[in-house]
Amino acid sequence: EAQVTQNPRYLITVTGKKLTVTCSQNMNHEYMSWYRQDPGLGLRQIYYSMNVEVTDKGDVPEGYKVSRKEKRNFPLILESPSPNQTSLYFCASSSRLVNYGYTFGSGTRLTVV
């Protein structure tokens, strides 16, 4: 089944403790992206990648890092999480043809205390 898989689904952590949220897709998509979803703010793009080793900042990149060493994986790294990064995070992937739209993962609910 074609899908985007994120892990973990739920995560509670403490301020300052580094964490990684993994994302993997099995559709051979060139593009991958991370979003955060907050009430009243909709989805905001954190980082996106157009190919292996090619990444770019989205609208809210501060406090996040990404890497794209393999085509199928696009992990999101929080080096020093803070409470304002408590959010619902979505990974998504797409072919390079814009018409097909993005396929989204199930989301990771992160709480930073």
Chain residues in the site for another protein (CB under 8 A): 31, 33, 35, 40-45, 48-50, 56, 58-59, 90, 92, 94, 96-107
Dist. CA 80–CA 55, nearest whole Å: 20
By beta-carbon proximity to another protein, the closer residue of 1 and 99 is: 99
Rounded-to-integer distance, Cα 108 and Cα 6, Å? 7
- Closest approach of another protein to the CB of residue 77, in Å: 19
- Alpha-carbon distance of 53 to 38, in angstroms, equals 28
Looking at the Cβ atoms of 21 and 81, the one nearer to another protein is: 21
In whole angstroms, how close is the CB of 66 to another protein at the nearest point?
13
Peptide bond between residue 8 and the one before it cis (omega within 30 degrees of 0):
yes
